[in-house]
Chain A
Amino acid sequence: MHHANHFYGHAYVLARYCKLDDPFHPPRINGYLQHGWNIGDGMAPGMPFVSGSTLFLWSEQTRRRAWSQGRRNTIVIGAPFAYLLKLEPEPEGLHREGTIFYPFHGWEKQQVFGDHRGLIAEIRATEPGPVTVCLYWNEYRNRRIRRLYEKAGFRVICHGYRGYWWRDHDREFLFRQLNELRRHRRVASNRLCSAIWYGLLAGCEAAVYGDPMVLDNSDLTFGGEPRIRRQWPELYGVETDRATCYELARQELGADSLATPEELRAYLGWSTTGDEHA
């Protein structure tokens, strides 16, 4: 229904989980799937929304927020990444080393302004082991920014393009991200974001430090960065308590409330019976 349902290959992951015949071309999702960790009502601010449509949210907390903002048709299904973890359980004898750092990113319509050199210096001063910097496609495509991180001696990667208006989807995005997270002992960023929660759920330690930078035209309705820092202080700092942060990640990604494949098919409108019954 909305192209954001297909960002990061989310629809593909869910189609695999639901054991559809052809998960590569998932059918239309009957509603809006939350595509990133959100401190608002689950939808990106200003997103066009068909009133009365179903919202598929990641956590019960988001559902409460969505209700308070007038959203009524909400179902908590959990994050697609949590479903991916069920599809791809952690293999035996995994070796983790170093840190994967996710610098805060922009997108087509909003750029990030900040001192990358300063951030690089802070990463170097903080992280003891090898560092992989995973740039979002928006920054990765910017040769100047990419070179800064490459010259700093980090291993610079990108998980792929997010997808936009049903084009250029990268169905393997989350799989690649999961593999990378499982190779590293720590996941870090200069802002608390989906990648940190994903990393925690995938078994990494988490850390949020450094200059949070500024997002062009950011929407502060739900409090922005200062609010995130106040509400999730456990995630901030160079060292954090892994057990506490892991529990928070389970809550934020709805990992304890995942639907069964049959149930999820019913939610997303992918049932095999279709519209035959009344």
Chain B
Amino acid sequence: MLAWSDWDPARGPALPRSAALRHLVTELSAPGQEVLVAGPHDDDFVTGLLAAGSRVTWLCRSLSDAHRIAETYPAVTVLCGSLAKLDPTPRYDLVVAADGLDRLDSVEGPQATPDELAVLTRVLRPAGALVLVQDNPLGIHHWVTLTSNRQYRSDAEWYPPAAYDEIRPASLTQLHERLAAEELVATATYALFPTPRTPSVLIGARLLGDTASPLRGHLAAALAEAFTDAYRDTPVLSDPRQLAATALRAGAEASLAAGWLTVARRGAPATPDPTHELVVGRGDDDYTYELAFRDGQPRLTVLVPPRRRDERAGLRPAAIPARPPAVGRIFEERLLRLCAQADLAGLRGEVIRLVTWVEQQARDGYVAGPTALATPCTLLDDGVALHLTTPRWEPVTPIPVATVITRALWWFAVRLLTTGRPHPWSLTASAAELTEILLGMAGRTLDEPTLRAAVDVQVALDTVEAGLTDREAHTRRLALLELRSGTPPIDVQGYRELAEALWRQRYQMSHLLAMLEWNDRIIRSRDYWHSKMDWELQFYRKSWAGRFLMLARNAYRLLRRDLRKVWRRLSRADTSRSR
């Protein structure tokens, strides 16, 4: 295909790019294997496969892309053209279609659709594996996107997704049925979040739908982080994190996943394919780890070690935890539930628990390591103690206990306000006021310098996670300090959350107007009573003669006023009678 590049972000969706995906693909390959990479993928997939000793053939439809690949990777065999023209001889041990099946047809000639799966299966050797990523039409990423029908905006969609509605699987079951129609059996299945092309959370078949699994707390935390990273500063219809949390609670993550990854073969392999319960990756430093529950214990295995990164903004990447991960539910969920139940006594207990836990981690008034950045949404509660989920960052220098506690409670207040969650306090309370209340529950007071220090820690964290410039960090600091009840969401910009913020602003505005009016009335009333009390004080301060004079003067004044009233009434009656 000419005058086209699948690497051009303006003309089509992003390339598949995920350290976790890459690892899963690479662990299926072996030295000397023949691998077909079908469609546009990030270069790292191919370099990973080459490093594993595989012989790679890369199919792409664009001529300019083919030239680039051939020049950059002389070891790779490049096939350029539409999938329909692929030689049907079975000669590949591994076929990788992590981009799905939508970018395998060129504009020229016969279209492989709807038979892409058949074509790819045909070129598989009998013992070969197909790694397929399939987009889920019911995926959360489709629910929250603001841009509806992209067809007219995208050069790549000469046939829009609607053209494939009948043949594309709309559920995991349908996907397996489609594979079965090609005599393929899925040996490993994963639900992908937050997007099918850049997944950072891959939920294995064993964990899918298992709401009783001890790994659910970690899964919830990983999903929240993944969605925050993917949708940071992106306008969406509604915050995807809320939908994801509800899907998790319902065990519906397979139905609402952004997509599915399946490893499919014609029969059971000689050695079973590796499967993982939960794989979590991070896009920015490739760090990928697996969580599994084995022998009654949760275990963390590093699959791809993190790249070495420099410190920035006083933070450095946290060391991989030596202890096995904890189990439990995210602590913030309990706090949110107590807030919704208006259970102040329960909240006090939990706040004291959190504060006590932080104080216990401190040495000489300072907290070191990733614990210093703990907030209720990054803590797991096993019912007895609190534990960190897998932390990403730690401060270079330890942080004072007061700052750590203030930040933990302040960030919870921020999340309460910006996600519009119910709480048992004033609807118009600001983040600072809520923080003061939460600190007060633990017998602590809020002071301005500590709050600013806490906000600075948050800005530092946002700087390293979102790559903020100094100017952006400064703007963020101001926005965080000003956070009130009607503030729009600060990380993921949801339209629904914005509407809620607008309602709160209107509520606050009408309250302020009513207050202004009330204050005016009260001041007038106070002035009146003040004047009366002043007269009384003067009265009591005078001698007996003075008091008599004051009373006489007052009586004379009242008599004159009342006589005038009577006279006016009589003269009005006269005039009306004479008419």
Chain A residues near B (Cβ < 8 Å): 31, 48, 50-54, 60, 63, 72-73, 75-76, 165-167, 256-257, 259-267, 271-273, 276-278
User: Which single member of B446, B483, B484 contacts A271 (CB below 8 Å)?
Assistant: B446
Within 8 A of A (CB), among B238-262: none
- Tell yes or no: B439 within 8 A of A by CB: yes
The answer to whether A262 and B432 touch across the interface, beta carbons within 8 angstroms, is no
The answer to whether B436 and A60 touch across the interface, beta carbons within 8 angstroms, is no
Query: Known interface pairs A50-B518, A73-B427, A278-B430. Does A260 touch B342 (Cβ–Cβ under 8 Å)?
Result: no
Closest to A31 in B: B426
- Tell yes or no: B531 within 8 A of A by CB: no
The answer to whether B345 and A53 touch across the interface, beta carbons within 8 angstroms, is no
Quick check: which of B62-70, B197-205, B506-514 contacts chain A, the rest being far away?
Answer: B506-514
B450 vs chain A, min Cβ distance (A):
10
A256 vs chain B, min Cβ distance (A):
6
The answer to whether A257 and B446 touch across the interface, beta carbons within 8 angstroms, is no
The answer to whether A53 and B511 touch across the interface, beta carbons within 8 angstroms, is yes
B540 vs chain A, min Cβ distance (A):
15
A208 vs chain B, min Cβ distance (A):
28
In the complex, chain A residues whose CB is within 8 Å of the CB of B448: 273, 276-277
User: Which single member of A165, A262, A277, A278 contacts B444 (CB below 8 Å)?
Assistant: A262
Bound CA span A208–B425, Å: 35
Bound CA span A48–B517, Å: 12
- Tell yes or no: B181 within 8 A of A by CB: no
Bound CA span A51–B513, Å: 9
Within 8 A of A (CB), among B442-473: 442-448, 451
Closest to A166 in B: B529
Bound CA span A167–B536, Å: 13
Q: Majority SS of interface residues in chain A?
A: loop
A269 vs chain B, min Cβ distance (A):
9
B510 vs chain A, min Cβ distance (A):
6
- Tell yes or no: B482 within 8 A of A by CB: yes
Interface string of B522-533 (1 = CB under 8 A from A): 000100010000
- Tell yes or no: B396 within 8 A of A by CB: no
5 more contacts with CB within 8 A, not counting A52-B508, A277-B451, are A76-B342, A76-B344, A260-B442, A277-B432, A277-B481
The answer to whether B482 and A278 touch across the interface, beta carbons within 8 angstroms, is yes
In the complex, chain A residues whose CB is within 8 Å of the CB of B482: 278
In the complex, chain B residues whose CB is within 8 Å of the CB of A257: 344-345
The answer to whether A262 and B440 touch across the interface, beta carbons within 8 angstroms, is yes
In the complex, chain B residues whose CB is within 8 Å of the CB of A53: 511, 514-515
- Tell yes or no: B424 within 8 A of A by CB: yes
- Tell yes or no: B52 within 8 A of A by CB: no
In the complex, chain A residues whose CB is within 8 Å of the CB of B508: 52
B186 vs chain A, min Cβ distance (A):
51
Query: Known interface pairs A262-B439, A271-B446. Does A278 touch B344 (Cβ–Cβ under 8 Å)?
Result: no
- Tell yes or no: B441 within 8 A of A by CB: yes
The answer to whether A167 and B515 touch across the interface, beta carbons within 8 angstroms, is no
User: Which single member of A63, A167, A272 contacts B445 (CB below 8 Å)?
Assistant: A272
In the complex, chain A residues whose CB is within 8 Å of the CB of B515: 50, 52-53
Closest to B352 in A: A260
A108 vs chain B, min Cβ distance (A):
16
The answer to whether B342 and A278 touch across the interface, beta carbons within 8 angstroms, is no
Query: Known interface pairs A51-B511, A257-B344, A278-B432. Does A273 touch B440 (Cβ–Cβ under 8 Å)?
Result: no
Closest to A63 in B: B342
The answer to whether A263 and B441 touch across the interface, beta carbons within 8 angstroms, is yes
In the complex, chain B residues whose CB is within 8 Å of the CB of A259: 344, 440-441
- Tell yes or no: B428 within 8 A of A by CB: yes
The answer to whether B440 and A73 touch across the interface, beta carbons within 8 angstroms, is no
In the complex, chain A residues whose CB is within 8 Å of the CB of B138: none
A270 vs chain B, min Cβ distance (A):
11
In the complex, chain B residues whose CB is within 8 Å of the CB of A54: 426
- Tell yes or no: B433 within 8 A of A by CB: yes
Query: Known interface pairs A260-B441, A266-B436, A278-B432. Does A51 touch B510 (Cβ–Cβ under 8 Å)?
Result: yes
- Tell yes or no: B437 within 8 A of A by CB: yes
Bound CA span A272–B436, Å: 11
The answer to whether B514 and A267 touch across the interface, beta carbons within 8 angstroms, is no
In the complex, chain A residues whose CB is within 8 Å of the CB of B442: 260
The answer to whether A266 and B437 touch across the interface, beta carbons within 8 angstroms, is yes
Bound CA span A277–B433, Å: 9
A249 vs chain B, min Cβ distance (A):
17
The answer to whether A265 and B426 touch across the interface, beta carbons within 8 angstroms, is no
A79 vs chain B, min Cβ distance (A):
14
Closest to B518 in A: A50
In the complex, chain A residues whose CB is within 8 Å of the CB of B514: 50-53
In the complex, chain A residues whose CB is within 8 Å of the CB of B484: 278
A252 vs chain B, min Cβ distance (A):
15
A/B interface sample: 8 pairs, CB < 8 A:
A50-B511, A60-B342, A72-B427, A76-B424, A166-B529, A257-B345, A263-B437, A271-B445
User: Which single member of A52, A260, A276, A278 contacts B440 (CB below 8 Å)?
Assistant: A260
The answer to whether A273 and B436 touch across the interface, beta carbons within 8 angstroms, is yes
The answer to whether B342 and A73 touch across the interface, beta carbons within 8 angstroms, is no
In the complex, chain A residues whose CB is within 8 Å of the CB of B433: 266
The answer to whether B518 and A266 touch across the interface, beta carbons within 8 angstroms, is no
* Most chain B beta carbons < 10 A, residue from A31, A48, A257: A257
Query: Known interface pairs A50-B511, A51-B510, A51-B511. Does A265 touch B344 (Cβ–Cβ under 8 Å)?
Result: no
User: Which single member of A52, A267, A271 contacts B510 (CB below 8 Å)?
Assistant: A52
Bound CA span A60–B443, Å: 22
A75 vs chain B, min Cβ distance (A):
6
Bound CA span A166–B424, Å: 30
The answer to whether A277 and B529 touch across the interface, beta carbons within 8 angstroms, is no
The answer to whether B428 and A263 touch across the interface, beta carbons within 8 angstroms, is no
Query: Nearest 9 CB-CB pairs, A to B?
Result: A52-B511, A263-B440, A262-B440, A266-B436, A277-B432, A50-B518, A73-B426, A266-B437, A50-B514
In the complex, chain B residues whose CB is within 8 Å of the CB of A166: 529
Closest to B484 in A: A278
In the complex, chain A residues whose CB is within 8 Å of the CB of B424: 63, 75-76
A165 vs chain B, min Cβ distance (A):
7
Query: Known interface pairs A60-B342, A75-B426. Does A265 touch B440 (Cβ–Cβ under 8 Å)?
Result: yes
B501 vs chain A, min Cβ distance (A):
16
The answer to whether A273 and B441 touch across the interface, beta carbons within 8 angstroms, is no
The answer to whether B440 and A266 touch across the interface, beta carbons within 8 angstroms, is yes
Bound CA span A243–B514, Å: 45
In the complex, chain A residues whose CB is within 8 Å of the CB of B427: 52, 72-73
Bound CA span A29–B525, Å: 18
In the complex, chain B residues whose CB is within 8 Å of the CB of A262: 439-441, 443-445
B565 vs chain A, min Cβ distance (A):
26
In the complex, chain B residues whose CB is within 8 Å of the CB of A73: 426-428
B346 vs chain A, min Cβ distance (A):
10
User: Which single member of B440, B446, B510, B525 contacts A277 (CB below 8 Å)?
Assistant: B446
* Most chain A beta carbons < 10 A, residue from B432, B444, B451: B432
In the complex, chain A residues whose CB is within 8 Å of the CB of B425: 75, 267
Bound CA span A50–B514, Å: 6
Bound CA span A267–B437, Å: 7
Closest to B522 in A: A1
Interface string of B335-350 (1 = CB under 8 A from A): 0000000101100100
Closest to A51 in B: B514
A106 vs chain B, min Cβ distance (A):
24
B428 vs chain A, min Cβ distance (A):
7
In the complex, chain B residues whose CB is within 8 Å of the CB of A263: 348, 437, 440-441
User: Which single member of B345, B507, B525 contacts A52 (CB below 8 Å)?
Assistant: B507
In the complex, chain A residues whose CB is within 8 Å of the CB of B481: 277-278
In the complex, chain A residues whose CB is within 8 Å of the CB of B507: 52, 72
